[in-house]
Amino acid sequence: MKGAELSVLCFNDFFSANLGDRLLGRCLHAALRSELDCGVDGWDIDGKSGPEGEPATAAWSAKDVVRTLVPRRLKTQLNVRRARSRLLSQWKTAVHQRPVSAIVVGGGHLITATTEYFPVRLNAVAEFARELGVGIHIHSVGVSHPNTWQQAAGKQLHRFLQDAPIASISVRDEQSADHLVATGWRKENIRIALDPGLLAARTFEIGKRSPRQRLCVGLGIMSPAVVRAVRDAPTGIDDAFWVAAAEHLVAAGVDVYLFTTGEVGDIRAAHRLGSKLSERGIAYDGSAIAPRDDADLVSRVAGFDAIVAQRLHASIISYAVGVPSVGLGWDPKVRGFYRLTRRVDYFFDDRDAQPDDISVRVLQAAQSGLDGGLRDHHIATCEDGVRSLATLIAKGN
């Protein structure tokens, strides 16, 4: 499809510390460019111009002390206004006088309001789109149920969904579609478009694996604090769980690797776990704990024979590159992916998963592999979703 006159802005969490978010943004960006053959610019939804670093740890200033005295509600309002003003100013400067024909937002779990982070930024995108006079195409997003939204953040997200100039919307699974319907959207106006992360093997160069004598299993570590931030119930996946799982795998003659998708908290948790494995005399490889970037993450996962992981995009990446996975569910979106790929036998709820069961199942996964035909179908369906998006953009719908 040719359209050199088009200029499209593609918003995502491009420079998130979570490399899974960064990866799916790059996959969508690359796929759109190949379909539209035009200027498709990838923009970070928070206005970041590079990867996030470690949070600042300097001593507090007098201004910081004063901020602690400001009532929480007023502080939130000030933060919202400051973020909106910063983003709009930055985006207007970046776009200058270039003609823009459409804005794309996606993919990722963006339609959520457990905090005000995404609602604020989505409303800023909506205001920017109105000033440019263009529509917003929301593509392959995850949607959390409105009953999990915080009150103030939920109001902002509802305002975006009701008032933004949304030209089209697609979600990554049926569950997200049902959640969007709960906000007032009609089901017939919602398309399903599979997660762009499924295009990882077509977006990133993956080298050939060297022959080896032993199975290599990657354990995808996620900080328990992530679960605590999402739900009240604790997770059963703690250091003791991973130590026991690694012990079972090593006893079975498997080479164990620890890896993360790049979040600072996950990296710290993985290093802490590594210390405990060393104390127990359990051999492991920690070279994949802190991948350099999204390309390195894909390459690392592609080098395993199988993985066990909590992070959704660890499972999506492994599926994309043909590596079987076992999922540990802490959020409904993880279960949804295993339903989609017809691999529910390789999914465990994190609250009742047992290390020995996980170890047995990941070995079965490594030996059985994936259904190549089904995987190819899902990747082709994902590409069709991007192609449909490109058609809507080209038609000006």
- SS3 of 267-284: the string is HHHHHHHHHHHHHCCCCC
Q: Say whether both 181 and 249 belong to one domain.
A: no
Q: What is the mean pLDDT of residues 263-283?
A: 96
Side-by-side strand order, sheet with 136-143: 39-44, 7-12, 102-111, 136-143, 166-171, 191-192
Q: Say whether both 34 and 155 belong to one domain.
A: yes
338-384 pLDDT, tens per residue? 999 999 999 999 888 999 999 999 999 999 999 999 999 999 999 99
Q: Say whether both 162 and 229 belong to one domain.
A: no
Residue among 125, 167, 164, 140 at smallest CA distance from 392: 167
Q: Say whether both 195 and 287 belong to one domain.
A: no
pLDDT band at 184 (very low <50, low <70, confident <90, very high): very high
Q: Say whether both 127 and 156 belong to one domain.
A: yes
In a domain, 2, yes or no: no
Q: What is the pLDDT of residue 386?
A: 97
Q: Say whether both 85 and 227 belong to one domain.
A: no
Q: What is the pTM of this model?
A: 0.89
Q: Say whether both 319 and 229 belong to one domain.
A: yes
In a domain, 303, yes or no: yes
Percent share of the chain, pLDDT over 90: 74
Amino acid at 49: S
186-223 pLDDT, tens per residue? 999 999 999 999 999 999 988 777 778 899 999 999 99
In a domain, 68, yes or no: no
Q: Say whether both 197 and 273 belong to one domain.
A: no
First to last CA, the chain: 16
In a domain, 65, yes or no: no
Q: List the single range of 16-25, 51-60, 324-333 with lowest mean pLDDT.
A: 51-60
Q: Say whether both 47 and 158 belong to one domain.
A: yes
What is the chain's mean pLDDT, rounded?
Answer: 89
Angle (CA) 304 305 308, round 5°: 80
Q: What is the pLDDT of residue 62?
A: 45
Q: 289 versus 205: which is more confidently predicted? A: 289
* Residue span of the structural domain in which 300 resides: 203-371
In a domain, 311, yes or no: yes
Q: Say whether both 265 and 330 belong to one domain.
A: yes
Q: What is the pLDDT of residue 6?
A: 54
Q: Say whether both 92 and 187 belong to one domain.
A: yes
Going by their DSSP bridges, the two strands 166-171 and 191-192 should be labelled as parallel
Please count the structural domains in the chain.
Answer: 2
Per-residue pLDDT at 147 exceeds 90: yes
Domain CATH code at residue 303: 3.40.50.2000
Q: Give the C-alpha separation, 315 to 338, whole Å.
A: 9
pLDDT band at 4 (very low <50, low <70, confident <90, very high): very low
Q: What is the mean pLDDT of residues 257-267?
A: 96
* Letter string b/e over residues 313-327, b meaning 16 or more CB atoms within 10 A of that residue's CB: bbbbbbbbbebbbbb
Q: What is the pLDDT of residue 126?
A: 97
In a domain, 176, yes or no: yes
Q: 41 versus 49: which is more confidently predicted? A: 41
In a domain, 1, yes or no: no
Q: Find tokens 């499209």 and name the residue.
A: 8
Entry field: residues in the chain? 397
pLDDT band at 78 (very low <50, low <70, confident <90, very high): low
Q: What is the pLDDT of residue 387?
A: 97
pLDDT band at 59 (very low <50, low <70, confident <90, very high): very low
Q: Say whether both 326 and 387 belong to one domain.
A: no
In a domain, 71, yes or no: no
Percent share of the chain, pLDDT over 70: 91
